[in-house]
Amino acid sequence: MLTDIKARAAKPAEKVYRLYDGGGMYLEVPPSGNKRWRLKYRVNGKEKRLSLGVYPNVGLKEAREKRDELRRLIAEGIDPAAQRCPQKVAPTADSFEMVAREWMDLRSPAWAPRHLSTTCQRLEAYIFPHIGPLPIDQIGPLDVLNALRIVEKRGAVEAARKTLSICSQVFRYAVASARIQSDPCRDLRGALKTRQPGHYAAIVDPKDVGALMRAIDGYSGAMVVRCALRFLALTFVRPGELRAAEWNEFDMERRIWTIPAHKMKKRREHIVPLSTQALAVLRDVRATAPRLNSPMVFQSVRLRSDRGLSENTLLVALRSLGYGQGTMTAHGFRAMASSLLNGLGYNPDVIERQLAHIEGNKIRAAYHRTEYLEERTAMMQAYADYLDSLRDSMPPR
């Protein structure tokens, strides 16, 4: 392990040499004497190096913080070098990124905050790193397709399809504003994979649920992702509702999470009673949050972002635990809860209300956010206890 004293005392030699600190980080000392922090890491089997700044402008403590932040990205399968690529080319006024942000500024006043956040996340995660700096009039169908193929390979087929739709809207705006002649996305119809119809994959057998909960507890990636998976299991909200969660929605004393109507699929405010276990997860999240002033509960693992986790992060985490899309999805925690709770004999109406399923029947649709709240509160605590019991029930050897 390096110390500030060792870093300051390092003198240049005839050849470049390195002083290693740990976690792949080292101080490079060239003959010129201009010391620089670097990080060595591997992504997809390839060794890469990334600059963390010049010493002493960037001190040892700051370099370690940068290293730890980048390691969180790498643990999620994200190449931090790729995230920095767009910064190497200054976007012009008519680059794809600049036109896309102009389009969002124009359209966003009519959007729900959740829709704006999701749209921006998809562009920043999937598109800007690849075609963001390019002049929009020089982008062809293949450029867009190559970017979306990367998303498909991660298993996020639906995310790729929705991102294509967003790109098409940006290009159509560029046509309307006389920047290009046509939308290149029109030529990509049928080029992407389609999600197989049917329900989201979910684990419903109690023994398999126990194994899943043990796997989540043993997840070695970013702490915020492990907490998000556990919280999703305990609350079985929709993944988008979890990713958009903000601290001001939680009343820790009353043990409830009130999700605003604009964040709900059915546009109705929804109350989630919080079990003792769910409260413990929230405390863990807050204690380990990389950005203490962020309003987001489950903060993005990307650098310098105040947004929530991306939709692909939970999918990648589940896959890293051995649960592919055909086995378990983030949305599958809802089906898992429904199956287990019905099997435990709980009132189906109470379960459906907690799932925020609103029936079309006019009489049944007389919805009130506190309906069955006492029963739901007891059910959520019992469900959390049940998940713990399944997790702790190791199968016989």
CATH code, 32: 3.30.160.390
Higher pLDDT, 95 or 357: 95
The verdict on 68 and 120 lying in the same domain is: no
139 HSE (CA, 13 A, CB side): 32
The verdict on 61 and 101 lying in the same domain is: no
Spatial separation of the C-alpha atoms in residues 314 and 300, rounded to whole Å: 11
In a domain, 194, yes or no: no
397 pLDDT tier (thresholds 50, 70, 90): very low
Q: Is 367 tagged catalytic? A: yes
358 pLDDT tier (thresholds 50, 70, 90): low
CB 144 within 8 A of CB 186: no
What residues are paired with 42 via a beta bridge? Answer: 47
Q: Which of 265, 266, 267, 364 is catalytic?
A: 265
Taking the alpha carbons at both ends of the chain, their separation in whole angstroms is 42
Mark which of 34, 50, 75 sits at the end of a domain. Answer: 75
CB 77 within 8 A of CB 63: no
Q: Which of 66, 130, 230, 331 is catalytic?
A: 331
In a domain, 198, yes or no: no
The verdict on 332 and 183 lying in the same domain is: no
304 pLDDT tier (thresholds 50, 70, 90): low
The verdict on 127 and 275 lying in the same domain is: no
How large is the average pLDDT for residues 243-247? 92
Strand runs labelled E in the chain: 17-22, 25-29, 36-43, 46-54, 250-251, 256-259, 270-273
The residue segments making up the domain with residue 20 are 4-75
In a domain, 197, yes or no: no
pLDDT at 306: 66
Spatial separation of the C-alpha atoms in residues 245 and 252, rounded to whole Å: 14
305 pLDDT tier (thresholds 50, 70, 90): low
Q: Which of 66, 67, 130, 238 is catalytic?
A: 238
In a domain, 81, yes or no: no
pLDDT at 164: 92
Mark which of 161, 188, 215 sits at the end of a domain. Answer: 188
For the ranges 92-101, 344-353, 365-374, the lowest mean pLDDT is seen at 365-374
191 pLDDT tier (thresholds 50, 70, 90): confident
Using one digit for the tens of pLDDT, what is the confidence trace for 198-220? 456 789 899 999 999 999 999 98
Q: Is 265 tagged catalytic? A: yes
Number of residues in the chain: 397
Sign of the alpha-carbon torsion through 325, 306, 85, 45: negative
Mark which of 75, 101, 136 sits at the end of a domain. Answer: 75
CB 26 within 8 A of CB 13: no
Q: pTM of the predicted model, to two decimals?
A: 0.55
CATH code of the domain covering residue 332: 1.10.443.10
Please count the structural domains in the chain.
3
Q: Which of 17, 172, 268, 367 is catalytic?
A: 367
In a domain, 257, yes or no: yes
In a domain, 195, yes or no: no
Q: Which of 71, 334, 376, 391 is catalytic?
A: 334
Residue closest to 278 by CA, chosen among 309, 298, 255:
255
DSSP line for 185-198: GGGGTTTS--PPSS
The verdict on 25 and 119 lying in the same domain is: no
Sign of the alpha-carbon torsion through 143, 147, 153, 157: negative
The verdict on 274 and 364 lying in the same domain is: yes
Q: Which of 254, 357, 364, 368 is catalytic?
A: 357
Those residues whose C-beta lies under 8 Å from the C-beta of residue 31, and which sit 6 or more positions away, are 12, 13, 14, 15, 16
